Amino acid sequence: MNTYRLQEEAIPVDREMDVVIVGGGATGIAAAIAASRNGARTLLIEQRGFLGGMGTVALVPAFCPFTDHVKPVIRGIGLELLERMKRNCNEEYHELYNDLLDWVPIDAEVLKRVYDDAVLESGAELLYHTFVGQICMDPAGSRIDGVVIVNKTGRSFVKCSYLIDATGDADIAAMAGVPFHKGGEQGELQPGTMCYLLTNVDRNRFKKYLKESGDTGQIPIAVQKAQASGDLPEGRKEVSGFAWVSDYLVGINFGHIFNIDGTKAEDLTRGAIEGRRKVKEQLRFLQKYVPGFEKAHLISTGEQIGIRETRRIVGDYVLTQQDFLEMRTFPDDIARNAYFIDIHMATSKDKMAIHHLPHGRSHGVPYRCLLPLGIDNLWVAGRAASSDRVVQGSLRVMPNCFAMGQAAGTAAYLAGLNGLTSREVIIDELQRLLIEQEAWLGEETHERLAVR
């Protein structure tokens, strides 16, 4: 590889913070709110002009479940934000989804405003349209002193005591030299999806078609007819999901784009172009084969293709498939997960891997999964937390990211109180504070701490 040596330069110190969070998806939002509400001087850095990650940037049309089919297991900040979005939607939306906690459709424009307001009300600072281009380590290489940011203002340095990597891709951890895994044994990655929003559709006509045809809500009959006639390519035999924001407005998660590495700009570029082409093809299919969609009009595609999988850090503990299957509880649990294992096929000929837990059951997510090897003031929460590939297929969804983000932000605040490293945070104190702030850590943890 050819190289070019940059000249040494002095850049201004933009600000000094207790906690810096990089990435404004579900993880970063919850981390920022948690850290700031507890009293830490907090800055949330996001490369786009709004928060929300896959739920707004990629137009993922619905929140995955917050419950284990019996009770909510994702509570705290995540559940608070879900309910706040509902309250800010129109009356028709309230009637449809007021009591729903699983697969709640996302109104992306409402959600952007909700996230803005919630983060700012917490006291955290926001910095949009900004990339972290470099990190600066202490001489020992065990702490990050701050980050170099790049935006329209120029290049500058943000000094911080603690850092939370909420990029979803472990970008900051990778810069710091943290070991990680990416994809499967052959480097294969789950495919991406270009989600989109349609208007001028007729939900009642669609429901009538389902009733009369025997097709299901994922319309496998229509999809397979179109594939047989050449109007759709071979691949997944059903639509991943329709999320009806109203009777005339629907978000769609449909199809796959293969061989996309979300850590490479070239792949994201190709994914965006191929994704928009696929949406055009899918729109023609819906108009031709699915009653209620004859006059459907495309409002928007995701700004970015939806990414399911990239890096997974190696942390102090690696959550495993056996932990999931045995529904284990850990002494340092900071969240519970009940979402099913959901690994999308790496090629159009592979089969999806899905495994559900029994209703009412979940497994713990230990604090150690957020602690990357070798760094003492960094947490990696969300999709890139320390797990094997199978568990990542379950842990990666937005409700879980809220829970891990709240834990990371709370831990960063506690560390700052007494100048501790991330590993010196007292687990009982962290768990008690999380529970006091409405997080759910499972019956055993609540009973052990005598918190009702």
**209 within 8 A of 292, measured Cβ to Cβ:** yes
Predicted pLDDT at 405: 98
pLDDT at 362 over 70: yes
Predicted pLDDT at 344: 78
**Interstrand relation of 363-366 and 249-253 (parallel, antiparallel or unpaired):** unpaired
Proportion of the chain above pLDDT 90, given as a percent: 93
Q: Count other C-beta atoms under 10 Å from residue 349's C-beta.
A: 8
Beta carbons within 8 Å of 4's beta carbon, 6+ residues apart: none
Lowest mean pLDDT segment, chosen from 187-191, 345-349, 433-437: 345-349
Q: Count other C-beta atoms under 10 Å from residue 400's C-beta.
A: 28
With cut-offs at 50, 70 and 90, classify the pLDDT of residue 359: very high
Lowest mean pLDDT segment, chosen from 38-42, 94-98, 295-299: 94-98
The DSSP symbol for 367 reads G
| Cα 46 from Cα 242, distance rounded (Å) | 28
pLDDT tens-digit readout, 70-127: 999 999 999 999 999 999 999 999 989 999 999 999 999 999 999 999 999 999 999 9
The DSSP symbol for 369 reads G
Per-residue pLDDT averaged across 282-311, rounded? 98
Overall pTM > 0.95: yes
Residue listed under structure tokens 């100048």: 419
Per-residue pLDDT averaged across 35-57, rounded? 98
Predicted pLDDT at 347: 60
| Cα 275 from Cα 62, distance rounded (Å) | 19
Q: Which residues face 249 on adjacent strands?
A: 199, 246
Kindly give the residue spans of alpha helices, DSSP state H, lying in 214-367: 220-229, 265-289, 321-325
Predicted pLDDT at 351: 62
Residue 288 half-sphere exposure, CB side, CA atoms within 13 Å? 15
Predicted pLDDT at 234: 85
SS3 213: helix
Predicted pLDDT at 280: 98
Q: Which residues face 13 on adjacent strands?
A: 157
pLDDT tens-digit readout, 249-271: 999 999 999 999 999 999 999 99
CATH topology of domain 13-185+309-448: FAD/NAD(P)-binding domain (3.50.50)
pLDDT at 400 over 90: yes
Predicted pLDDT at 158: 98
pLDDT at 451 over 60: no
SS3 166: coil
